Structure 1
Amino acid sequence: MKQKGILKWIETVGNKLPHPFVLFIILCGVLMVVSAILAAMDFSVTHPAKGEEVAVKSLLSVEGIHWILTSMLKNFIEFPALGLVLAMTLGIGLAEKIGLLTTVLRKMMAGIPAAVVSYAIVFVGILGNLASDAAMVIIPPLGGLVFLAMGRHPIAGFAAGMAGVSSGFTANFFIAGTDALLAGISTEVAKTIDPNAMVTPVDNWFFMSASVVILAFFGGWITDKIIEPRLGTYHGDRNVQFEKVTPQENKALRKAGIAALIFVLMVGLLVIPEGSLLRDPKTGDFLTSPFLKGIIPIILLFFVTVSFVYGRAMGLIKTSKDIPHYMSEAIKDMSGFIVLAFTAAQFIAFFNWSNIGILMAVNGAEYMTSMGLTGLPIIIAFTLFTGICSLFITSGSALWAILAPVFMPMLMLLDYNPAFIQVAYRIADSATNTISPVNPYIPLFLAFYQKYNKNAGMGTIFSTMTPFAIVFLVVWILQLTAWYFLDLPFGPGVYAR
């Protein structure tokens, strides 16, 4: 009851805040004042990675005001989530509006035991991170639809997908672009202590593969035992039903399935063979390939292709006007997100331009190094500190570029493997993603929440996702501790020391 009370308090306090659109405007104003005060006090730090002096810049200075006026449209247009969400909405929205997603879900329901559906959604969400940010747009809404079709609360299903995609971001059975990106930063920093040091993309593979199963179990348990009981019974419209799939729908699904298979095979032929079109033209590498960099338009084309085939088979797409009509209807549903994204983009851009995030991270890191901890406690303290920093710097690579030059040399001198230090960073940076106030996908999450609960606010999101963030972080720290004491490999030939 105490836990439920705390979560209820978070939701109540959070929802008493102004509408998120207004809230971000207020936060921008506060940030402007704070930046002016810190700049007047000459606050600055040395950037650990670049070795350059970074000073807090005042948003109320002449330079700051000029930047605000000249960058406002750029901030909005280049908002990380905007183009991705709208592009994916064109494809997924088309599939939803013609009924393809509903039919697939009804087909799936017959084969998924109700007892494991929560665990399956978190599991798929974690693996879906291979598609990078595109998974943010695809999997949580599908989780909501699955729960809705099963007569359960759709927000619980959405939260399960969101937890897998966001808080479980760094775990996977497969080597992803994140592994290569972080390994590159780690190697560069580690060489300052050991010129022969090398962190490869597979050095965390064993640990992260085990994390998929562990987090999927706890994520499903949280959904069933904590989140859904809090939400109660859903009384809204249920537009996903359990009716039996008709022969015409089955036939259309078969055609769409064939189209999907052909699409995947064609992409495979363009990716798998060495020297193929979608490989890195310079190195032939997969992790830096145009395929992974262009995964969003590829997924968009996939949805458009299978939706077109399904729509034609169902008689829903007859002329060239039908496809843009369904896409337009889907975009209309995202109007609230577009409006909210404008002010959210400004706040995040203000925060980054002022250098306040870097100031917080570097000063916090220096304080950590002065604490004098040794052994496993210093690793856990580093992990917890990372979790706090990641609430304000959402780019995992940017935060690692700030923290690695400070902590990696110190911890390597304590005989820790740089790949082990990288794991301690990754678990904290991932776990708190869903409760970060500067997460660029917060407006998107809120738009989906309000689809099922028009009174939902920021407090609803944070109260729903806090149990996932806390439990994932605690479980990951326990897993890290177990790996440490049992001397298990984090990757091929990689141990803690």
Structure 2
Amino acid sequence: MAELSASVQKRSARNISGLLNTIERLGNRLPHPFMLFVYLALFMIVLSALVSLFDVSVVHPATKETLKVKSLISGEGLKFILTSMLENFTGFKPLGLVLAMVLGIGLTQRVGLFESVITKTIIKAHKSVITYTVFFIGIMANIASDAAFVIIPPLAAVVFYSIGRHPIAGLAAGFASSGIGFTANILIAGTDALLSGISTEVAQTIDANASVSPVDNWYFMSVSTIVLTIVGGLVTEKFIEPRLGAYDGETGKKELDFTSNTLENKALRNAFIAAIVYIGLVALVLFLPNSPLRGDGGTIIPSPFLDGIVPIILLFFITVGVTFGVTMKKIKKTSDVPALMTDSIRDMAGYIVLVFAIAQFIAYFNWSNLATWIAVNTADGLSSINLTGLPVVIGFVLVTAFLSLFIISGSALWALEAPVFMPMLMLLNYNPAFIQVAYRIGESSTNMVTPLNPYFAILLSFMNEYDKKAGIGTLMSLMIPYTVVFLIVWIILLLAFGLLGIPVGPGVGMYIN
């Protein structure tokens, strides 16, 4: 029996290894995301010319206007390509949203506030809840963007090692929470601003008044944070850690120093006070009689408050970041603030370059009317075979999870999928913000099970500090259980929200009202 079990395990390991090798080979053949969208833009130019030869048209579902597919290889098309290029780039809604958020979040990250809060929270957690604390902080740490990948896993490993637990179990918890749980958060993060901008841009091709704000997935992602914390903790303690067994390796890591830093404690206290004061002032203005932040009739949904949520969040991060930085003496003069912000924006150079190509692709897709033509015909086709309702959404989640193995950038993948899937699903009456939630589930679930992830090698190096023999297969075998369980739980949660009529964000249900 033991030999049979060992044989089955070896065969399973070979199958997984073969699958991973296939994924790696296919993924390595993909060009850089910037070049991918350049090629797609060129493909769109050729495709529009070919389809236009058949004189096809489509009736816009909202305006009832008949739209012909237009060729980009024509006088009109050439004029559009040349005259709209700069406007496509500068008018791309996600660009301003993301850069504005980075000014505040990047400043806060540069002064060390995020790292300090994360470290203090994990270190002070009771041993009985340390796994769940790691997961909660790891998921919440996506507010610091990709910095979470290099802060949470090694810190979690040292914490586990310090209390006599297997450090690789800590690494696994850190990997899974900061990577697979990346899209969830109780706070409004840069991801919300980035994706909602793309969603709005695409949704308006179907409905000119459509809008997805950074808070439109807030309820669902807040609940997801709690649910994934519990589920991730259980997977770690009931499956991952028992499978690893007792740790008997050598490590150069020292146990954590649990003593307090007086200056850092003072800075955290001051930042917390600043946060409370800021939130209090915003709440005071919001709930004043005839508040200018409320909508007609005193409503909050919709209201100028929600329309202006990005600058409100930006000022919040600047307030707490400056307070912490001044106390820590990392901000000694006013010129230090724009200098830190400049460093943050400098890190976004790659994103800005990528946006240039994405913006052209989406603009060409929309101008040619191919987006509307594909969406309407696909939606009609699905309706004709009665493939509508939640099965379509679940299928979309699974397709996204698969594509995420090859296209690692969440914004790049959404820019690729949104022009096709969002119009199609909107024509089936799904709310664009609900469609965005489905995308986020699929994309985030497979974040850490592909060697194409730019942080994969870094995470593997962290693991090698505790196990010199650990390789890609080791890391994959640790991440696959989290990926499968998280994806299943997330889909169930999405179904619960949809079937029970629970809004995924303020005033946002499953269907378009």
- TM-score of Structure 1 vs Structure 2, range by shorter chain: 0.5 to 0.7
Letter in 2 for 1:160: I
Corresponding residue number in structure 2 for 1:348: 362
What are the within-5 Å matches in structure 2 for residues 388-399 of structure 1? 392-393=417-418
Deviation digits for residues 394-453 of structure 1, max 9, x if unmatched?
69975554222xxx9xxxxxxxxxxxx9999686455345599xxxxxxxxx99859958
Corresponding residue number in structure 2 for 1:80: 93
Change (3 A) 1:95 1:475: closer
Corresponding residue number in structure 2 for 1:327: 341
**Contact 2:34–2:357 (CA<8 Å) still a contact in 1?**
yes
Change (3 A) 1:361 1:265: same
Deviation at residue 163 of structure 1 after TM alignment: 3.7
Change (3 A) 1:83 1:297: same
Deviation digits for residues 314-339 of structure 1, max 9, x if unmatched?
22222221111222222222222222
For the pair 1:53 / 2:66, whether they are aligned, the reply is: yes
CA distance in 2, matches of 1:297, 1:491: 28
Deviation at residue 251 of structure 1 after TM alignment: 0.9
Letter in 1 for 2:153: F
Deviation at residue 50 of structure 1 after TM alignment: 2.8
Deviation at residue 245 of structure 1 after TM alignment: 4.1
CA distance in 2, matches of 1:286, 1:257: 26
CA distance in 2, matches of 1:322, 1:483: 45
Corresponding residue number in structure 2 for 1:105: 118
For the pair 1:147 / 2:172, whether they are aligned, the reply is: no
TM-score, normalization by structure 1: 0.65
Deviation digits for residues 51-77 of structure 1, max 9, x if unmatched?
222332222222222111111111211
Corresponding residue number in structure 1 for 2:464: none
Letter in 2 for 1:340: L
CA distance in 2, matches of 1:79, 1:28: 16
What secondary structure sits across from 1:327 in the alignment?
helix
Letter in 1 for 2:52: A
CA distance in 1, matches of 2:292, 2:54: 54
Identical pairs, percent: 37
Deviation at residue 244 of structure 1 after TM alignment: 4.5
Deviation at residue 489 of structure 1 after TM alignment: 4.5
Q: Which 10-residue stretch deviates more, 205-214 or 19-28?
A: 205-214
What are the within-5 Å matches in structure 2 for residues 428-443 of structure 1? 428=438, 431-432=441-442
Q: Which 10-residue stretch deviates more, 357-366 or 146-155?
A: 146-155
Deviation at residue 264 of structure 1 after TM alignment: 0.7
Deviation at residue 242 of structure 1 after TM alignment: 6.9
What secondary structure sits across from 1:164 in the alignment?
coil
Deviation digits for residues 261-305 of structure 1, max 9, x if unmatched?
11110011111344223112x232112222211111111111111
What secondary structure sits across from 1:54 in the alignment?
strand
CA distance in 1, matches of 2:67, 2:99: 35
**Contact 2:326–2:332 (CA<8 Å) still a contact in 1?**
yes
Deviation at residue 33 of structure 1 after TM alignment: 0.7
CA distance in 2, matches of 1:22, 1:422: 28
Corresponding residue number in structure 1 for 2:405: none
Letter in 1 for 2:262: P
CA distance in 1, matches of 2:456, 2:395: 33
Give the unaligned 5+ runs of structure 1.
Answer: 126-135, 189-203, 230-237, 409-420, 437-445, 455-462
Change (3 A) 1:355 1:141: farther
Deviation digits for residues 368-417 of structure 1, max 9, x if unmatched?
222257xxxx545433465569863269975554222xxx9xxxxxxxxx
Letter in 2 for 1:120: F
CA distance in 2, matches of 1:31, 1:495: 31
**Contact 2:375–2:423 (CA<8 Å) still a contact in 1?**
no
CA distance in 2, matches of 1:465, 1:122: 15
For the pair 1:272 / 2:287, whether they are aligned, the reply is: yes
Change (3 A) 1:160 1:42: same
Change (3 A) 1:392 1:220: farther
TM-score, normalization by structure 2: 0.64
Letter in 1 for 2:355: A
Corresponding residue number in structure 2 for 1:32: 45
Corresponding residue number in structure 2 for 1:235: none
CA distance in 1, matches of 2:445, 2:510: 31
Change (3 A) 1:379 1:288: closer
**Contact 1:362–1:402 (CA<8 Å) still a contact in 2?**
yes
Letter in 2 for 1:277: P
What secondary structure sits across from 1:286 in the alignment?
coil
Corresponding residue number in structure 2 for 1:248: 263
Instruction: Kindly report the root-mean-square deviation, in angstroms, between the aligned alpha carbons of the 2 structures.
Output: 4.9
What are the within-5 Å matches in structure 2 for residues 266-415 of structure 1? 266-280=281-295, 282-371=296-385, 379-384=389-394, 387=397, 392-393=417-418, 400-404=425-429
CA distance in 1, matches of 2:77, 2:481: 39
Change (3 A) 1:89 1:156: same
Letter in 2 for 1:371: I
Give the unaligned 5+ runs of structure 2.
Answer: 1-12, 158-170, 208-216, 244-252, 401-413, 447-451, 461-475, 504-508
What secondary structure sits across from 1:45 in the alignment?
strand
Corresponding residue number in structure 1 for 2:184: 164
CA distance in 1, matches of 2:445, 2:373: 21
Corresponding residue number in structure 2 for 1:192: none
What secondary structure sits across from 1:162 in the alignment?
coil
CA distance in 2, matches of 1:355, 1:222: 47
Change (3 A) 1:467 1:36: farther
For the pair 1:116 / 2:132, whether they are aligned, the reply is: yes
Corresponding residue number in structure 2 for 1:439: none
**Which of 215, 234, 257 pairs up with 2:272?**
257
Change (3 A) 1:10 1:481: same
CA distance in 2, matches of 1:422, 1:159: 25
**Contact 1:17–1:23 (CA<8 Å) still a contact in 2?**
yes
CA distance in 1, matches of 2:329, 2:428: 56
What secondary structure sits across from 2:64 in the alignment?
coil
Change (3 A) 1:338 1:466: farther
Q: Which 10-residue stretch deviates more, 110-119 or 339-348?
A: 110-119
What secondary structure sits across from 2:428 in the alignment?
helix
How many aligned residue pairs are there? 405
CA distance in 1, matches of 2:342, 2:223: 42
CA distance in 2, matches of 1:422, 1:254: 40
Letter in 2 for 1:107: K
CA distance in 1, matches of 2:459, 2:436: 33
